[in-house]
């Protein structure tokens, strides 16, 4: 099983395969969702053993992170600020959610998270391929396809396993 890790190549392939990815999303909607989840979870387990997120950190460079009030309190404490000061200085509202506004993430140090043990839940669980409901999150997966090698490889393996016919 070949795993693509080259972010430049993934980004180029994502542009080429964008229409196919939307076609694949429609294709998935007609499939048994529980079966898709079982396949996705099996592929996820294979892929994550071969990709070290700490050597990538692309998600930390190009995605914003939603934070809860509890997480704001923790981050504010780390910054020696009140939660209100932290939120005013480092957060913004996006579609009704509070998000860290810095991009890349202010806690990214090279390719490492400087607050790894205290990182928000969204960071801990990204790219969500281990969670149920893959088909219902497929639009997000298309977005993450060009960003995350885990998602890219998982989607490509899923297409192959389900014998999805590509145009490109």
Residue 27 structural domain: 7-58+127-161
52 CB-contact burial (10 Å; exposed 0-12 / middle 13-18 / buried 19+): exposed
Q: Is 148 a member of any domain?
A: yes
Q: Looking up tokens 């099996």, which residue turns up?
A: 42
Q: Return d(Cα 133, Cα 108) in angstroms, integer.
A: 29
Q: What angle do CA 131, 155, 139 make, to 5 degrees?
A: 65
Burial 101-126 (b: 16+ CB within 10 A, else e): eeeebbbbeeeebebeeebbebbeeb
Same domain assignment for residues 54 and 14: yes
Asked, for residue 86, whether it belongs to a domain, the answer is: yes
Q: Residues 44, 76: one domain?
A: no
Together in a domain, 88 and 101: yes
Please tell me the predicted confidence (pLDDT) of residue 1: 76
- Domain assignment present for 167: no
The total number of structural domains in the chain stands at 2
Alpha carbons 39 and 47: distance in angstroms, whole number: 12
User: Which regions of the chain are under pLDDT 70?
Assistant: 168
Residue 166 placed within a domain: no
Q: Is 1 among the domain residues?
A: no
In terms of domains, do 119 and 91 share one? yes
23 and 54: one domain? yes
Write down the residue that tokens 């997000």 correspond to: 140
Q: Is there a single domain that holds both residue 46 and residue 68?
A: no
pLDDT at 7: 96
Asked whether residue 2 is domain-assigned, the answer is no
């Amino acid at each position: 099983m070949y795993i693509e890790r080259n972010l430049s190549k993934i980004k180029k392939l994502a542009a080429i395969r964008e229409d196919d990815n939307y076609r694949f999303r429609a294709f998935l909607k007609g499939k048994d969702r529980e079966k898709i989840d079982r396949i996705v979870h099996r592929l996820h387990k294979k892929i994550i053993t071969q990709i070290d997120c700490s050597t990538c950190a692309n998600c930390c460079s190009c995605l914003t992170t939603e934070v809860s009030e509890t997480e704001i309190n923790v981050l504010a404490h780390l910054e020696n600020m009140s939660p209100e000061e932290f939120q005013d200085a480092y957060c913004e509202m996006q579609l009704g959610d509070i998000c860290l506004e810095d991009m890349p993430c202010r806690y990214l140090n090279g390719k490492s998270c400087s607050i790894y043990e205290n990182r928000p839940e969204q960071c801990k669980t990204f790219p969500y391929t281990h969670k149920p409901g893959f088909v219902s999150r497929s639009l997000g997966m298309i977005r993450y396809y060009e960003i995350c090698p885990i998602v890219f490889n998982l989607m490509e393996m899923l297409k192959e396993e389900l014998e999805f016919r590509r145009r490109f």
